[in-house]
A and B are shown apart, each in its own frame.
Chain A
Amino acid sequence: MSEVERQALWLSLRVASLATLFTLPFALALAVALARGRWRGKTLLESVVNLPLVLPPVVIGYLLLVAFGRQGPIGRWLYDWLGVSLVFSFRGAVLAASVMALPLMVRAIRQAVDAVDTGLEAAARTLGASRMDAFWNVTLPLTAPGLLSGAVLGFASSLGEFGATITFVSNVPGQTQTLPLAIYSALQSPDGEAAAARLVLLAIALAFAALALSTWSHRRLQRWMRSST
């Protein structure tokens, strides 16, 4: 493996893992709010969450640039108060991947929350569990397979994220150049065909590894749920 390949692979793994971990709590909160909540503005929030699914990724990247750029409303605040800049940086790549993964994760988790029988939560309440207690000890464990599916989907989508990333944080080797961006760069250079092919093989291997990991963890989870007391 060349230095460029190793760098792209490592960066992809880091971006995808961090984006998944970072997005998971938000996705869970949104999924619960959308599945269980009855409040005004729910449909609006649902539409906003789903925007990355229906908009071209380039548009999402552009919107991120507008909001989180040095002059953007959020970007300026982040820079002034925390000294953090997202543009052209690894953090920005994570943010782009997160935003793109969010709707997929919310969908998967929401389905799982919808499938939990609210009667079980009611039973837990009568058995002395407060609302939070019932959520942590009944709803959340029963949602676990959905959380795992959501995480796997989010991870996979982050590995493949291209449009929003290249628009928002450009294509900086070692900073924002994940595997798809590295393949794109290789294809742009005159004699990069061979390099691109090697990167493509790497991407395929990574995909298989991620699938195997997801199957394994699903099995572990099933076994855990069956044996827990």
Chain B
Amino acid sequence: MTLDISVRMPRGALHIEAEVSAPARGITCLIGRSGAGKSSVLLAACGLLRPAAGRIRLDGDALFDSERGIDLPPHARRLGVVFQDGRLFPHRSVRGNLLFGARRAPARAAGPGFDEVVELLGLGALLSRPSHSLSGGERQRVALARALLMRPRALLMDEPLASLDPARRAELLHYFAALPHRLSIPILYVTHQMDEVMRLADRAVLMADGRVAAAGPALDLLSDLTLTPHLGRFEAGAVLAGQVSEQLGEWQLTVVSVAGQRVTVPAIPGAAVGASVRLRVRARDVAVQPAPQPSSASNQLAATVLRVIEREGEHDRPYAAVELALRGGAQAAAGERLWALVTRRSVQQLALVPGRACVATFKAVAVEGRAAAVIDEA
């Protein structure tokens, strides 16, 4: 089952022309700066915004098709939506909100049961509370539960964490990250927060100025230097993927195995040995040297130069971006590559050309806080 969205529509000064698809497995993040048209695509998918032209299909079943004159109303599309502001019905209790969609779901539709969802999202103690008395984090959990209980054929989330404080965000990310294990429906998640993408995305679709600038596996997009200008305040860099191999409790450090090498970072909260993690390393934090040497930099990784980008557009600049593979040359998969921002002079002095073996170094502190994300607990 796949959700395929292909729409054209004017939206104020913006002209949206986008093709977005979300497979049934995992979370697809729709990313890009505010005003790039992400939310409009989501609203078109659930039927709250009518595109000028295009097609929206769920597993071949047309929800909208301008050529064939198909435009299913929102209630017939059966797509669960979690909005940024929750949109709980203030005149109903938590239970009343949860049952609103559940009572309108077709009896034969597959999906998790009431008790299961209540347990999954920890809502047992809230059921009889009036919905207007909930905290922000509780509201979003109820909103997610309500969307799940309507037995949706796909789940759409529109910046569901945008109005929450950091502690609540972390708590909810934990629930969101668990969703793909329970559901095998397409999940489309709109956000412009890169830490959410790091934590949740299996696939990512990047939108800029109403168009899709790139789409593919999340690790590829997050490590694509050419996309950095579209990612807002996200600095150029790469994302490493690996498993926690050791906890150095005494030093408050965590060792992650990436491409068979040891990467040491400050202790990652909630990451047990065996957990899958993603590490974001900024290009400016990575240095390149010909061979290992004693240093305070915790990480000295054997690497091969993949390519060197010296110019950005027309302009010369002092720096070059060097892409490094942590595993034998071009075999290095996404999540096993680093970017290093070094001076053009260094490129020449060290003779950094594709194929050249070298050592990539960065300090443990370069991967602090939000730069590390637990993808899958062991």
Instruction: Give residues in A with beta carbon < 8 Å to B.
Output: 117, 119-120, 122-131, 133, 137-138, 141-142, 225-229
Contact = CB atoms under 8 A, between A and B. Distances in A.
B91 A127 contact: no
Given A123-B81, A126-B46, A126-B48, A133 B96 contact: no
18 contacts: A123-B87, A125-B48, A126-B74, A126-B79, A126-B80, A126-B147, A127-B146, A127-B147, A128-B75, A128-B78, A129-B100, A133-B75, A141-B91, A225-B91, A227-B93, A228-B91, A229-B95, A229-B99
Interface centre among A119, A127, A138 (most CB of B within 10 A): A127
Where chain A touches its partner, the secondary structure class is helix
A226 B130 contact: yes
Contacts of A120: 87, 89-90
Contacts, number: 69
B153 to A, nearest CB: 12
Interface in B13-55: 46-48
A221 to B, nearest CB: 10
Contacts of A228: 91-93, 96
Given A127-B75, A127-B147, A130-B75, 5 more contacts: A127-B104, A128-B78, A133-B75, A227-B93, A229-B92
Given A122-B74, A133-B75, A226-B130, A127 B100 contact: yes
Interface in B79-111: 79-81, 83, 85, 87, 89-93, 95-96, 99-101, 104-105
Contacts of A126: 46-48, 74-75, 77, 79-81, 147
A142 B73 CA distance: 23
A37 B78 CA distance: 26
| Chain B residues touching A, majority SS | mixed
A130 B104 CA distance: 10
B91 A142 contact: yes
Interface residues of B, number: 30
A226 B99 CA distance: 16
A125 B90 contact: no
Given A119-B83, A226-B130, A128 B104 contact: yes
Nearest to A225: B91
A128 B101 contact: yes
B212 interface: no
Contacts of B325: none
Contacts of A127: 75, 100-101, 104, 146-147, 150
Interface string B323-351: 00000000000000000000000000000
Contacts of B85: 119
B127 to A, nearest CB: 9
A84 B367 CA distance: 86
A125 B74 CA distance: 6
B265 to A, nearest CB: 41
Interface in B150-185: 150
A229 B81 contact: no
Nearest to A126: B81
A226 B92 CA distance: 7
Nearest to B146: A127
Contacts of B90: 120, 142
B104 A125 contact: no
Nearest to A117: B87
Nearest to B149: A127
Contacts of B89: 120, 123-124, 138
A180 B150 CA distance: 56
Nearest to B106: A128
A124 B146 CA distance: 11
B23 to A, nearest CB: 21
Nearest to A120: B87
Interface in B48-78: 48, 73-75, 77-78
Contacts of B147: 126-127
Contacts of A128: 75, 78, 101, 104-105, 150
